[in-house]
Amino acid sequence: MIRTSSVEQTAVFARVLAAHVQAGDVILLTGNLGAGKTTLTQMIGKELNVRGRITSPTFVIAREHEAVSDGPGLVHVDAYRLEDAMELDDLDLDAELDDMVTIIEWGRGKAEQLSDSYLDIFIDRPEPDPESEARTYTLSAHGPRWEGRIEQLTTACQEAL
């Protein structure tokens, strides 16, 4: 588990995470409203240097942000309103999946089937104080794409934070 105690520290986590992702990766972000799913996605998008403002994609379910320079772009999905995995399959993200990093808010239970591999991140707020910037990130990697890489990522996070 990774702990951050401020927005600035979460930005450091996002920087380390962005340095370890590659085109074709799928990241599922789960955690209550206000946990920081969109904020983390914005921070990763900034590190990947993608075009366009990353906002809560509540009305648009999926939004594509191309990379300004070399490196993968970002597909940002909000699965909150989707009933099940089948509805996500209907979005036909397959074409983008290989060239982009795909981040799916509320992805748990709905997006595991998109790829043979995914990184599941559960975000929690450990402090009851609503003003607290403390967050915990529980990472679990699934599938061959993350084999070996998850240890590197975890070590890099521990070193940076």
Which residues sit at the interface with ligand ADP, rule CB under 6 A? Answer: 4, 6-7, 10, 31, 33-39, 56, 105, 133, 135
**Closest CA relative to residue 157, chosen from 6, 12, 8, 5:** 12
| Among 56, 117, 136, 154, contact with Mg ion (rule: CB under 5 A) | 56
**Closest CA relative to residue 102, chosen from 138, 141, 136, 63:** 63
Q: Which is nearer to ligand ADP, 35 or 145 (CB)?
A: 35
CB of 36 to ligand ADP, least distance (A): 3
What whole-number distance in Å separates Cα of residue 2 and Cα of residue 154?
Answer: 8
**Is residue 117 part of the contact set for Mg ion (CB under 5 A)?**
no
18 binds, among Mg ion, ligand ADP, none (CB under 5 to 8 A by kind): none
Partner residues linked to 105 by β-bridges: 29, 78
**Residues constituting the chain:** 161
* Parallel, antiparallel or unpaired: strands 73-78 and 118-124: unpaired
117 binds, among ligand ADP, Mg ion, none (CB under 5 to 8 A by kind): none
Q: Which is nearer to Mg ion, 2 or 123 (CB)?
A: 123
What whole-number distance in Å separates Cα of residue 127 and Cα of residue 47?
Answer: 28
What whole-number distance in Å separates Cα of residue 59 and Cα of residue 80?
Answer: 10
CB of 11 to ligand ADP, least distance (A): 8
CB of 37 to Mg ion, least distance (A): 5
Q: Which is nearer to Mg ion, 37 or 65 (CB)?
A: 37
**Is residue 76 part of the contact set for Mg ion (CB under 5 A)?**
no
100 binds, among Mg ion, ligand ADP, none (CB under 5 to 8 A by kind): none
Contact 23, 45 (CB under 8 A): no
- Given the rule CB under 5 A, which residues bind Mg ion? 37-38, 56
